[in-house]
Chains A and B, each alone.
Chain A
Amino acid sequence: MTNKNSIFKLVMALAAACILIPVILMAVCAFTSRWQWPDLLGESFSLRGFEEVFINNVQSFRILISSVFISMAAALFATIIGYMSAQAFSMYDFPLKKWLHFGSMLPIIIPSSVFAMGIHVYFIKWGINDSITGILIGHVLYCLPYTVNILGDSREALGNKYEQQAMMLGCNSFMAFFHITLPLMIPSVISAFSMAYIISFSQYFITMLLGGGVVKTYAVFVFPLISAGDRTIAGAYTLVFLLSSLLIFILFEGVIKFIVKKIVSAET
């Protein structure tokens, strides 16, 4: 048992290291003036990267804010539609259910370039290409497979037994959902939203194609700057990217838990 625990801890430490080391390196890069090979450490401490992000390139902050809102909207729609789909797939039987479930996974099965170009043709026909609406729809479609899967597994595991009990105690379907199902599904909802948000926020090719360069998200704006080769600036932009996403996750989790606590807690 001790051996198994030790191995488990070792594996977890390695996994954490794989995630944290690149982030730490990126953070160090962001705060150095230059860090060239074969130097072991950067030349000196510098805020050049952040000056570039927040002072020299003011529009980056504006694009960051608009990207956050676009991705939050995309994640919200994807989570709501994903939940409704997950509810249907796990709780009901209807014709072609398996095929429809498979169909909901298609955006991640087919190559993203094929997916993006396919819907781009229709967006041009409908006049919503090069617009926020088009990008939003594209992102929602791309995020749906993730939200449907995450929420579907949880919904099926939860079942409808608690809802049935709630009905016995006087709840209609709506009340049973808000008082019982939603609070119990919160961890999955947060996971689905977070996944959809990060997929939308980091989406490059689909946004490039559907936005036509007219509508820029943070990922589209930052990509050429990161690939320019200046690690200090790349590190600064990446850090802003990571921290803004983390802030959104914390905010969303806090808001949802606050709302659920209000619903569940007894009035005094």
Chain B
Amino acid sequence: MKLKVENMKVVFSKKDVISDINFSVEKGEFVSVLGASGCGKSTFLKAIAGILHLEKGNIFVDGKRIDNVPAHKRNIVLVFQDIRLFPHMTVAENIGFALKIKKVPGEVRNAKVKSLLQQIKMDGLENRKINQLSGGQQQRVALARALAAEPEILMLDEPFSSLDENLRFDMRLLLLDIHKKYHMTTIMVTHNKDEALSMSDKIALMDEGRIIQSGSPEDIYENPVSYKVAEYFGDASFFEGTVGKGKFRSPEFMVECSLEEGEYMMMVRNDAVEPTEGDDFEFVQRIYTGKEKEYIYQHCVTGSKIRCRNNGKKTDSLPAKTSFRFKSEKLRYYKI
């Protein structure tokens, strides 16, 4: 195990920002720490990096305890959200900075900087000043600077948040290429669930300073352990009801299930919804994203909404009023 965090607690102004986090990353894994703004993701990374003090807990890298080691000796590099390229240095000087601190000979350093510039496709821009670079270029230089330090663990705090959609895609590919090439243990903080799902070996979802679920992207998406996790990934409709005598009953649906009696929230993924005969729901709106079409229907009595993908069918095939059935294996229930 490359990184292990035990019972981490971080306090700001007498308030628990991180509470009792246990977390581990295998060598070479790409892990995303996902969560809404303000849930403590960046604080978590800064605590691992050694910038913030731990109130409680331990951090281990390769089995050695590092929470009592100064930040500059941990060999963990954090690329901050605001990039923080040194404004008084050129591109080459920024990238070669860590090597200069390590007193790497000039020739070796220059060769390494040149190699990294080629990898980030910025050859010929060695002597550019930082304020002459675009946002995307700055992000690449920040990444190259981190790689030059040859860290044991690379951490990135929302690395693509300031980029437009096309640039985000290019940067994601670059990061994945680099991760594949160096097989570096990487932890990325993001609030973008699509990014996390598409890039990661493992996802840790945070909420209010705690990790509420950790696992592979498929596992978290298909089997969210709680209503909060399910709601975060969205792409689903939720209906409140009760379970009794082997059936889930809500004002909108009745579904067979084998749960103990009680109040439950039923989650149904948008791609698990199929129209069927009936007129319980009426059409509200169509959402076209370019990749697919989604249809929003509203229950005629309760007003609850349900979303349905057209699954390749033509627009005209979805009626103004319909009922729905589900693929039962895609339903999830959360006790409330």
Partner-B contacts on A (CB < 8 A): 161-162, 164-172, 175, 179-180, 183-184, 264-268
Known: A161-B80, A169-B98. A267 touches B106 (CB 8 A): yes
Measured between alpha carbons, how far is A171 from B71 in the docked complex, in Å? 9
6 shortest interchain CB distances as A-B pairs:
A169-B98, A165-B84, A267-B106, A170-B101, A167-B72, A167-B71
Q: Mark out the residues of chain B between 204 and 253 whose CB falls within 8 Å of any chain A CB in the assembled complex.
A: none
Residues from chain B with a CB closer than 8 A to the CB of A162 are: 84, 86
Measured between alpha carbons, how far is A266 from B92 in the docked complex, in Å? 9
B332 interface contact, C-beta 8 A:
no
Contacting pair B87 A164 (CB below 8 A):
no
Partner of B97, one of A169, A172, A267: A169
27 A-B residue pairings within 8 Å (CB atoms):
A162-B84, A162-B86, A164-B80, A166-B86, A167-B51, A167-B71, A168-B49, A168-B51, A168-B71, A168-B72, A168-B76, A169-B97, A169-B98, A169-B145, A170-B101, A170-B149, A172-B72, A175-B101, A179-B101, A180-B86, A184-B87, A264-B89, A265-B93, A266-B93, A266-B109, A266-B110, A267-B106
Measured between alpha carbons, how far is A136 from B79 in the docked complex, in Å? 46
20 more contacts with CB within 8 A, not counting A169-B98, A180-B86, are A161-B80, A162-B86, A164-B51, A166-B86, A167-B51, A167-B70, A167-B72, A168-B76, A168-B146, A168-B149, A169-B77, A169-B146, A170-B101, A170-B102, A171-B72, A179-B101, A264-B93, A266-B106, A266-B110, A267-B106
Contacting pair A268 B97 (CB below 8 A):
no
The chain A residue sitting closest to B87, CB to CB, is A184
Known: A162-B86, A183-B88, A266-B93. A172 touches B100 (CB 8 A): no
The chain B residue sitting closest to A160, CB to CB, is B51
Residues from chain A with a CB closer than 8 A to the CB of B109 are: 266
The chain A residue sitting closest to B148, CB to CB, is A169
B256 interface contact, C-beta 8 A:
no
**Interface 1/0s, chain B 134-154, versus A by CB < 8 A?**
000000000001100100000
Measured between alpha carbons, how far is A41 from B236 in the docked complex, in Å? 91
Residues from chain B with a CB closer than 8 A to the CB of A265 are: 93
Residues from chain A with a CB closer than 8 A to the CB of B82 are: 161
> What is the CB-to-nearest-CB distance from A171 to chain B, in angstroms, rounded to a whole number?
6
The chain A residue sitting closest to B89, CB to CB, is A264
B273 interface contact, C-beta 8 A:
no
Residues from chain B with a CB closer than 8 A to the CB of A183 are: 88
Contacting pair B93 A170 (CB below 8 A):
no
Residues from chain B with a CB closer than 8 A to the CB of A169 are: 72, 77, 97-98, 101, 145-146, 149
User: Per DSSP, are chain A's interface residues mostly helix, strand or loop, or mixed?
Assistant: helix
Contacting pair B88 A267 (CB below 8 A):
no
**Interface 1/0s, chain B 314-332, versus A by CB < 8 A?**
0000000000000000000
Chain B, interface residues (CB within 8 Å), range: 20 to 34
Residues from chain A with a CB closer than 8 A to the CB of B96 are: 266
**Interface 1/0s, chain B 83-115, versus A by CB < 8 A?**
010111100110011101110001001100000
Measured between alpha carbons, how far is A212 from B179 in the docked complex, in Å? 73
> What is the CB-to-nearest-CB distance from A213 to chain B, in angstroms, rounded to a whole number?
47
**Interface 1/0s, chain B 281-306, versus A by CB < 8 A?**
00000000000000000000000000
Contacting pair B49 A184 (CB below 8 A):
no
Measured between alpha carbons, how far is A170 from B71 in the docked complex, in Å? 8
Known: A167-B71, A171-B101, A266-B109. A184 touches B149 (CB 8 A): no
Residues from chain A with a CB closer than 8 A to the CB of B86 are: 162, 165-166, 180
Measured between alpha carbons, how far is A264 from B145 in the docked complex, in Å? 16
Most buried by B among A162, A165, A183: A165
Residues from chain B with a CB closer than 8 A to the CB of A170 are: 72, 98, 101-102, 149
Measured between alpha carbons, how far is A169 from B145 in the docked complex, in Å? 8
Measured between alpha carbons, how far is A209 from B51 in the docked complex, in Å? 51
Residues from chain B with a CB closer than 8 A to the CB of A175 are: 101
**Interface 1/0s, chain B 103-137, versus A by CB < 8 A?**
00010011000000000000000000000000000
Residues from chain A with a CB closer than 8 A to the CB of B77 are: 168-169
B78 interface contact, C-beta 8 A:
yes
Measured between alpha carbons, how far is A166 from B98 in the docked complex, in Å? 8
> What is the CB-to-nearest-CB distance from B189 to chain A, in angstroms, rounded to a whole number?
15
Measured between alpha carbons, how far is A175 from B73 in the docked complex, in Å? 13
> What is the CB-to-nearest-CB distance from B219 to chain A, in angstroms, rounded to a whole number?
32
Measured between alpha carbons, how far is A83 from B81 in the docked complex, in Å? 29
Contacting pair A165 B149 (CB below 8 A):
no
Contacting pair A266 B100 (CB below 8 A):
yes
Residues from chain A with a CB closer than 8 A to the CB of B92 are: 266
Measured between alpha carbons, how far is A93 from B72 in the docked complex, in Å? 23
The chain A residue sitting closest to B70, CB to CB, is A172
Known: A168-B77, A169-B145. A267 touches B72 (CB 8 A): no
Residues from chain A with a CB closer than 8 A to the CB of B51 are: 164, 167-168
Contacting pair A165 B80 (CB below 8 A):
yes
> What is the CB-to-nearest-CB distance from A176 to chain B, in angstroms, rounded to a whole number?
8
Residues from chain A with a CB closer than 8 A to the CB of B102 are: 170
Residues from chain B with a CB closer than 8 A to the CB of A179 are: 97, 101
Contacting pair A267 B100 (CB below 8 A):
yes
> What is the CB-to-nearest-CB distance from A162 to chain B, in angstroms, rounded to a whole number?
6
Residues from chain A with a CB closer than 8 A to the CB of B110 are: 266
Residues from chain A with a CB closer than 8 A to the CB of B88 are: 183-184, 264
> What is the CB-to-nearest-CB distance from A91 to chain B, in angstroms, rounded to a whole number?
14
> What is the CB-to-nearest-CB distance from A232 to chain B, in angstroms, rounded to a whole number?
47
Measured between alpha carbons, how far is A43 from B10 in the docked complex, in Å? 80
Measured between alpha carbons, how far is A169 from B100 in the docked complex, in Å? 10
> What is the CB-to-nearest-CB distance from B133 to chain A, in angstroms, rounded to a whole number?
16
